[in-house]
Structure formats: structure tokens, C-alpha cells
Amino acid sequence: MSPALSGFTRRAALAAALCALGVPAAARAQLTVQGRVTDEGGRPIAGVQITVEGTTVGTLAGDDGAYRLVVRDPRPPLVLLARLVGFRPVRDTIAETSGTVTHDFALRRDVLQLSQVVVTGTGVATERAKLGATLSTVGGEEIAEAATPQIDVALAGKVAGALVTPNSGTPGGGTSVRIRGLSTLSRSAEPLYVVDGVIVDNSSTQLVDLGGYSSNRLADLDPNDIDHIEVVKGAAAAALYGSRANNGVVQIFTKRGRAGASRYTLRQTVGMDDVERFVPVNRAPVNAAGEPVTRHDYQDDIFQTAAQYGTTLSLSGGDERTQYFLSGSLVDQEGVLRSTTYQRRNARVNVDRQLNDWLHLGVSTSYISSDANLTPNGGLVAQYGVLTSFLFMSNDRDLTRDPVTGEFPKGQALANPLEVIANWRAPQEVSRFIGGVQLRGTPGWGVTVDYRFGYDTYTETAGQFVPRNSSAAALAPGLAISASDRAKLLNSDLDVSHVYDATPAVRLTTSLGANWQRQQYDVVTARAEDLALLTPTVQGSRQFASEGRDDRRTLGFYAQEQVGVNDMLFLTAALRADAASAFGSEERTQYFPKFGASFDVSQLGWWQESLAGAVPRLRLRAALGYSGGQPAGSFDRFSNYVFEPSGSNAGAVNSTQQGNENLRPERQREIEVGADAEFLGGRLGIEATYFDKRISDLILPKTVRPSSGFLSQLANVGVLENAGLELLVRSVNVERAAWGWNSSVTVTTNDPVVTQVSDGGAFFIPESFNVIRVAADEPPGHFFGTTYVRDEQGRILDANDVPIQDANGDIVGIPAIGPRRIIGDPNPDLYWSVANDFRVGDALSFRVQVDGVQGLDVFNFDRRLLETPAFGSGAEYGRELTGEVPTGYFQARRSIFEEYIEDGSFVKLREVSASYTLPAGLARAVRASAATLTLAGRNLKTWTDYTGWDPETNVGAQRTLVRGFSFATTPIPRNVTLGVTLTF
């Protein structure tokens, strides 16, 4: 082998999914190594990657753990490296140089996965143990077992530091992910998602107003395609993602093909969704006038037990040079709210090709098409729809279709919810392509070159149809909307890294990179009112259309140096420079440094001698990093001129929002320190991290002197701080042939405070009913509203300062309305998750995951409407009708918002699953090589003091500051799914 080839980096071998050279050699020596890979219990492990260290020669172990590797011209010492996610890698030296050798590997579990190779945010593939910052990894199995069609939903509870909130039970997504709490006030707080090197869109564009509900585009991806996910929480992401890293980065890796015979996997699931609990309704037999009435619970007519089906077929295989993974899947879901449906079709083609002995090509493509029929609910802007209409009416009305006229009765204040279900339509469609190309070259001299090109494009269309003469009086002329969003995202990244062993003890790794990113959107909305009869398209006598385009570009460069000393101490320093079109011309280029240190104390000699028995591994780490958040609007820096007509002449005037050529990204400084320790011979691992974030230069509107002809300007004026503790405990409790038991616990604390706001004051969030506010020295997005008037003992007083409750605790008075003040905080203090995996023999396994979110308030606006006397469908209001509380009590109470702030803490039985692998004989009966049955439940039980439908839902959908606001949002369904997986 030439000297150039001998310089092949270890890194290339580590990072390559599979890089095999298997061309038959004619005259040279050839060594064949074969054997089995097993775990500590002696059970075979499939998919273990076995490579010759320092080369790209490698193979994967098959299902029975067997492998066979052919090495031409082996140069001693020949070191074979066996590695798999979740296990510690093993390096064994093979003495022979020719012939056939049998060598077995026994892998031990790596509870903290410190040996895992990660690529996100590091510039070059690196073992987790070398990083100063924490980076979490979730395996594809864990995602698939979660039994949900949405990847982000499946992440719930699986990543320390990440809070996953499904904002709505509407099928088709609508999920928020917050990593280490909020990092912004004005921008999206969702992390950046990267799939196979392609930066993908996860926007939550609300093309039509469905009462705050909107899907997030991550919902398009198929969880069955996931190999694993890396989650970078903060500072560590700075080098690669600079001004887009403030909310963290989630990198998703899809499955790749394996050399060998074609392997088909068919997975079929059948599931059932329903609503865990209804709100109690008014059962009083009389109305406010004392007349007898018949009461109904229309929740029975609004909600349904919904069916869902999922089919996935995948095919993988290839030879030693070319591997492929193909998959197709279909999801067909009904929503728990009648008339809502969701269908998604995914297709994926991933191909890897070893072009020559130093260049590897990886291609990932996927196409997604989805259709949903939704229905409006809630609404902080416009109120209409099913649950909203249910709240805004009395339940003594008969809503069913009149058998004589065939018409639905009109709604009370809004529509008739049953008519909305029957006649209103809100279809949504997505057609999306995501493609990525990766070229990795190892030309020698310790250099690795990695080029990635990513493209994500979709068209999302949304419509809304309210027929003419519907049951909503305010919408009598009808309404038809058709809106589309065409998105194009492109990224082009080049990384070059070089490894240099300065001395046998000191290794220097240098990385340089450049990134180019562009995001374009074009939203067109057409709307018609005064519709023709029986015509659901946008045709009517009043028509409106509008368009908004977006174009954003970012050019970034970085340099990183890592120094490794004795494989024990690792120091990393990096600098990222980002220039983006959204930054003001005066602030065009921004710099983000990061530093990290990792020290494996347990490798010290004295430790090995004295403490290694009790604590076989202890790593201390610290990191300091800066990252950024780009302005929310791509054109916020400009002073724009806007349309201003004069009579029938069209003119232009300066927008009263002044541009700002000094606008720069929001800047986050994050410090984290932590330790990773293993106990009990590596069977118990604890990863603990303290993080302290300070986000300055928050972009907020600021008052501009009004005599200048402007009113406001977006400027870098705010500061937000958050500090917390993140804990991950993993243990292998039992690992025997007969049974096994693993546990995993994550705990995160959160304490965000806004420390500085523009103009020294406080402001209300637009479209929040003037209830959600930001103020200096208070938590972001707290609830601010009217209060009870209380005496010194805390008793609620009436307008004459007399307690409203008598000595027996009965309510005898009408509460007085007190001044507005802070009444609640939707930011949780603590969130945690406990998961246990059990295995019985080789065939049967169980999983139970319980999630908890503690110390948050939810604004139960639903209850306020349910007990408002004008509507009064709620059970509480019945107490006034039956004379239990004085007349007028609820009319007064509805104006006291403090009453409706409830403790939203909850514990959910998030996942329960049982999986059974059929005996091989049975599998063969259906010509399968393996067959697995799975029964999974999701969100089966909620323990909470919250009185509404679900404390997790939010009418603000994925909005950054409108959190914990429950107003006619569809509850998260309880789900049971039965699945069968066949492998051929």
C-alpha cells in the first residue's frame, strides 16, 4: 500500500457508514477473518460494524451476529474494531496475515454511550467522550416503539433537557420542542432540524386560521426510516450552525443499506385513538329563568373513537460497493374530532456507493405527500369551529338536524358544532421532496474532505370552506380560502479536517468548513366571500388575494482545533463566522466562539489503582459557547414603503416600523459543566449537567420618536436568562439469558427570566387576548390578568369587603374584581421521564415510559366559557341554576382571570408496549425469516389536578410565547396500536 493510503484517517473509518473494499486480489496475500458478535449474555448482536482500524475496509454483522471480512495485503499489526450504538467498541489485534481466522467479539453495553461517534455540531466525527458539551442520541428503535407517526412526538421524554409538547390532538402534527427552555421571545423557539445533512424546514405556517392550530413540517417525516437522532443542546452546536443554533440542533439520520442479500421488512399497524376524558357538563334541569330544560352532552357527538392504519415496506441490500435502502409507507388516520382525517405517503431511496478507494458517495432522497381534512377550533383571532361553538353555547339546545327541513339549527353565539362537522371543510395538502448528496473523500495525509448538498422543497396548500347560509350567523355569506406555501431550502457544506499526531501522546485535529444556506418561501392566499351556492372553490362576489415572499441567505465559515492528550484530555476551540442577509448591513458578519474541555479522570493511574472498582469511568467536562438566532423577518432590517391609497390613486408611504441596519442576531452565551460517571462495573451510568444560558440582543420592538414619522423599530434590546440542571441515569439492572431489565431516567429543571425589555417596560403579546405578557425580571410569557380581592387571611371578598364564603364554606356572596397583576407562569419548573425496558428470554419484551411536567400554570379558558352564564354548558354553572351559589356569582367570576389559572402539572403514562418475536417455525409458515407482534399504548393515562380536557394542549400552537393557553384545542388522544413486523 502506498504511503498515501497508509495515511487514511481513523476518522474516515469511524464516520463511514460502510466503506468496504472487496475486489478480489490476484497475487497478494489475503486474510479472511470470520466469527460472531455477541453481548455479555452470549446472545448475538446484529448490525455491528467491523472495520480494520486505519482503513476503510469493513463489514456489518448479520442477524445471527456472524461476520466475514476479507483483508487483502494485511499489514500487521492488524487491529479490528467492532462497534455499534449502545455498546462499547472493542479493538482486537489479529496476529495472522493470511489464511482464514476465526475471531469472536463480545460487546459490553455502553450505558452512557460515551463511545458513540457523533457528527452534529462538531465539524468532524467525534466520540461523545471527547466533547465538552453534552449531546444526546436516540436510537431508531426507540422512535419506532413510540407508536406515533410523528418523530418529534416520539422524542418526548427521551432526551434530557428537551421538552416535547404536542400542542393539539389534531392528526398531522403540531408539536413544540424546547431544548433547555426558551432562547428567544420574538422568533420561533423550535430547534434546527437536519436530516442526512439536509437542513429541513420545520415551519408552522398557518395558511388558514384554524383557531391557532397549525401543523409543523417535521410531521412529514416517517419515523420508520430513522436510524438514530442526535440532539445538540446548545453551545456545542455553535461551530456548524452559528446563527441558527440558539434553539439547539436535532440531526436525524435515516437508515442505510447493508451489503448482503435483499432484505424486506413489512410492518403493518392498526390503532385506535380516543379522548381520555370529557369535561363535565351542566346537568341542571332548569335554565336561568327557572324553566325546565333538557340538557345534552355534545362531546359524544363531537369526539369519536378513531381508527388508524400504518403500512411500511422497506427493502435493503447491496454488494460491497453499493448499498441501498428503499422504503415506502402509508399512514391513514382519523382524528378524535369527527370529520378530521390525515393521510401520509412516504417514499425513500438511500444509496451509498464507494466510487473508488478514497471517495464515497451517499445519496438520500425522500418524497412525501400528505392530505388532511381538518376543522377549525379555538382561535385567538377569529372564533369559530367545533369545540369553540360547543363552548359558546348553552347545552339545553337541540343541535341535531331538523328531520322535517333537513337543516341544522343555527348556533347560539357561533356555529352549530354538528353542522361544522357535517358541512365545513379545511383540507390541507403537502407535497415534498428532500434530497441530499454527500461526498466523502480520504485522499491521504490524514485529510478528510466532506461535501454535502441538501435540498428541501415542498408545496403546502390549505383551504377552508364555510358554506353559504351555514349555522354561523356571522359567516352567513360563506367563506372560501385557498392558500399555498412554496418552500425551497438549500444547503451546501464543505468540511475539511486533518489529523496530526504531534507526539505519540498528543493528537491535533483541525477542521475548516464553509456553509451556504438559502431559504425561500412564497405564500399566496386567495379568499372569497359571498359565495355561490354549492361551490366550495374560491368563487364569490368579494374576492381577495395576497402574496408574501421570503428569501434568506447565510454564508458561514468555521475553524476548529481539537487537542487530544493521551486519549484522556480533550480541549476544543472553534470560531464560527456567519454573514446573513437578514443582518443589518452594519452588522453583516458575526462571530461565535466556543471552547470545550473533557477530562477522563478514570484513566489516571492512581484512579485505576484505587477507585476503578467502584467508579470505572468518570469524565469531567465543561464548555462555553456562543451561538445566534437570526431575526424573525428576513426583511426586518429595511425601511420599507407600504401601499397607501388616496381615493382611487395608489401611493406609497414609509412604514411606521423603521428599518434597522444595525440589526444583528440574538446572541446566546451558554456555559455548561458536568460529569459522566459509571458505577457497578459500568451497569449504572449517570450524566449530570448544569447549564447557564444568557441570551442578549433579543430582538424586540422598541419605541421610535413618533415625531420622526416612525413609531417603532425592531432592535436588539432584550435579555433572557435560564439556568438548570439536566440529569440522565441509565442502568442495566438485569442482563441474563432468561431476562433483562434496563432503566432510563431523565430530569431537567428550567427557570427562565427576562431580565431586560425595551423601553424599560412590559408589553403584551399580540393575539393573546391581552393576557400574556413579557416584563423585566419576570418569566417570559407569564399570564397577567384580573384577580380576586382578598383579605389578610386570603379569603375572597365581595365589593363590600365581606368574605364571599360563610362559616360553613358555602358561597354566599359575589366576588369583587381586583386589579390586574401576574397570575401565572406557563414555563414548567421541572420535567422528567422514567422508562423501563424488560426482556423475557429472547422473544418477549416490554417497555413502560412515564413522563412528568411539574410547576407550570395553564390558563383554562375553556372552563371560563363553560361557566359563563350566557352559555353555561359546564357543570359548575349548574350550581348557580340549582341555587347552590348565589345568582350572579358566575357572571362576576368570569371576569376574574385568576380563577382560571390552574396548576397544569401532570404525569402521563406516555408509552406502554409489549413485543413478541414469533418462533422461527411460525415465521417460516408465512415465508418470513422473522415475525414480531407489538402491542403499544400511548398517553393511556394522565394524572393531573387540571380540570380541562388536557393540560398539554395550547391554542397558541407552536408560537413561542403563547404557551399553556387552553381554548377549544383538541385533546391529545389516548392510543392503542397493534402491529406486526415481518422480515423476509
Partner 1 sequence: MPIDIPASARRSWRRAGHAASRAALLALALGAAACSLDVTNPNAATEEAVLSTPAGLKAVTIGLQGRVGNAIEEAVWIPGLVSGELGNTNASQSTQREFQDFPDATANAEIEETNPELLDLWAKWYEVVRSADDILNNADAVTLAPGTKSGMTALARTMKALAFGTLIESFEQIPLEPSQPNPAFSPRADVLARARELLAAARADLDAQAPSDEFTTTLLSPGLDLPSTIRALQARYALAAGDYEAALAFANEVPATASSLITYTSTDRNPLTGVFHELGYFAALQAFRTNAEAGDLRVDRYTTNETQSAFGGATLVGLAVYLDQTDPIELFRQDELTLIRAEAHARADRLPEARTALNAVRTANGLSEKDATDLPTQAAVLDEIYRQRTYSLYLTGLHWADERRFGRVDTEAKVAWLPYPLSERSTNTNVPENP
Residues forming contacts to partner 1 in the complex (CB under 8 A) are 1-2, 23, 25-28, 72-73, 355-359, 361, 439, 451, 453, 492, 494, 516, 518, 547-549, 551-553, 555, 579-581, 588, 634-635, 638-642, 644-656, 659, 703-711, 759
Residue with smaller CB distance to partner 1, 645 or 921: 645
Q: What are the C-alpha distances in Å from 580 to residues 456, 494, 591, 630, 715? A: 19, 18, 12, 8, 16
Q: How far is the CB of 709 from partner 1 (least distance, A)?
A: 3
Residue with smaller CB distance to partner 1, 27 or 404: 27
Residue with cell 412590559: 762
Find residue 600's DSSP bridge partners. Answer: 619
How many residues are listed for the chain in this entry? Answer: 984
DSSP secondary structure letter of residue 421: H
Q: Are strands 589-600 and 569-580 parallel, antiparallel or unpaired?
A: antiparallel
Residue with smaller CB distance to partner 1, 355 or 473: 355
Q: How far is the CB of 656 from partner 1 (least distance, A)?
A: 7
Between CA 235 and CA 670 the distance in angstroms is 6
Residue with smaller CB distance to partner 1, 634 or 748: 634
> Nearest CA to 484 among 461, 517, 455?
461
Residue with smaller CB distance to partner 1, 548 or 888: 548
Q: What are the C-alpha distances in Å from 190 to residues 415, 575, 979? A: 34, 24, 31
Q: Do the Cβ atoms of 85 and 117 come closer than 8 Å?
A: no
Q: Do the Cβ atoms of 601 and 619 come closer than 8 Å?
A: yes
Q: How far is the CB of 435 from partner 1 (least distance, A)?
A: 13
Q: What residues contact 525, with CB distance under 8 A and at least 6 apart?
A: 207, 481, 482, 483, 544, 545, 546, 547
Q: How far is the CB of 758 from partner 1 (least distance, A)?
A: 11
Task: Phi first, then psi: give them for residue 900, nearest 5 degrees.
Answer: -100, 5
Q: Are strands 830-840 and 739-749 parallel, antiparallel or unpaired?
A: antiparallel
Residue with smaller CB distance to partner 1, 76 or 883: 76
> Nearest CA to 732 among 41, 155, 91, 135?
41
Q: How far is the CB of 211 from partner 1 (least distance, A)?
A: 25
Q: How far is the CB of 786 from partner 1 (least distance, A)?
A: 15
Q: Do the Cβ atoms of 951 and 904 come closer than 8 Å?
A: yes
Q: How far is the CB of 554 from partner 1 (least distance, A)?
A: 8
Between CA 868 and CA 891 the distance in angstroms is 6
Residue with smaller CB distance to partner 1, 523 or 930: 523
Residue with smaller CB distance to partner 1, 439 or 725: 439
Between CA 391 and CA 890 the distance in angstroms is 15
Q: Do the Cβ atoms of 444 and 8 come closer than 8 Å?
A: yes
How crowded is the C-beta side of 415, counted as CA atoms within 13 Å? 29
Angle at 735 between CA 102 and CA 223, to 5 degrees: 85
- DSSP output for 515-569: EEEEEEEEEEEEEEEEEPTT--SS-EEEEEEEEEEEEEEEEEEEEEEEEEETTTE
Q: How far is the CB of 959 from partner 1 (least distance, A)?
A: 22
Residue with smaller CB distance to partner 1, 613 or 647: 647
Peptide bond into 223 cis (omega under 30): no
Q: How far is the CB of 359 from partner 1 (least distance, A)?
A: 5
CA 619 to chain centre: 29
Residue with smaller CB distance to partner 1, 309 or 710: 710
Residue with smaller CB distance to partner 1, 656 or 836: 656
Q: What residues contact 135, with CB distance under 8 A and at least 6 apart?
A: 118, 120, 121, 128, 230, 231, 232, 233, 236
Residue 143 three-state SS: helix
Residue with smaller CB distance to partner 1, 681 or 706: 706
Q: How far is the CB of 683 from partner 1 (least distance, A)?
A: 45
Between CA 27 and CA 29 the distance in angstroms is 7
Between CA 951 and CA 860 the distance in angstroms is 9
Q: How far is the CB of 266 from partner 1 (least distance, A)?
A: 34
Q: How far is the CB of 73 from partner 1 (least distance, A)?
A: 8
Which sign does the torsion angle of CA 866, 870, 873, 878 carry?
positive
Residue 613 three-state SS: coil
Q: How far is the CB of 5 from partner 1 (least distance, A)?
A: 9
Residue with smaller CB distance to partner 1, 32 or 115: 32
Between CA 861 and CA 772 the distance in angstroms is 13
Residue with smaller CB distance to partner 1, 356 or 503: 356
- DSSP output for 792-835: TT--BBBTTS-BSB-TTS-B-S-BPEEEEEEEE--S-SEEEEEE
The b-or-e profile of 354-371 (16+ CB within 10 A means b, else e) is: beebbebebbbbbbbbbb
Count of other CB atoms within 10 angstroms of residue 978: 14
Residue with smaller CB distance to partner 1, 363 or 422: 363
Q: How far is the CB of 763 from partner 1 (least distance, A)?
A: 13
Q: How far is the CB of 224 from partner 1 (least distance, A)?
A: 30
Q: How far is the CB of 20 from partner 1 (least distance, A)?
A: 14
Q: Do the Cβ atoms of 526 and 544 come closer than 8 Å?
A: yes
Q: How far is the CB of 653 from partner 1 (least distance, A)?
A: 4
Residue with smaller CB distance to partner 1, 273 or 578: 578
Residue with smaller CB distance to partner 1, 648 or 808: 648
Q: What are the C-alpha distances in Å from 372 to residues 6, 335, 481? A: 55, 10, 15
Q: How far is the CB of 581 from partner 1 (least distance, A)?
A: 4
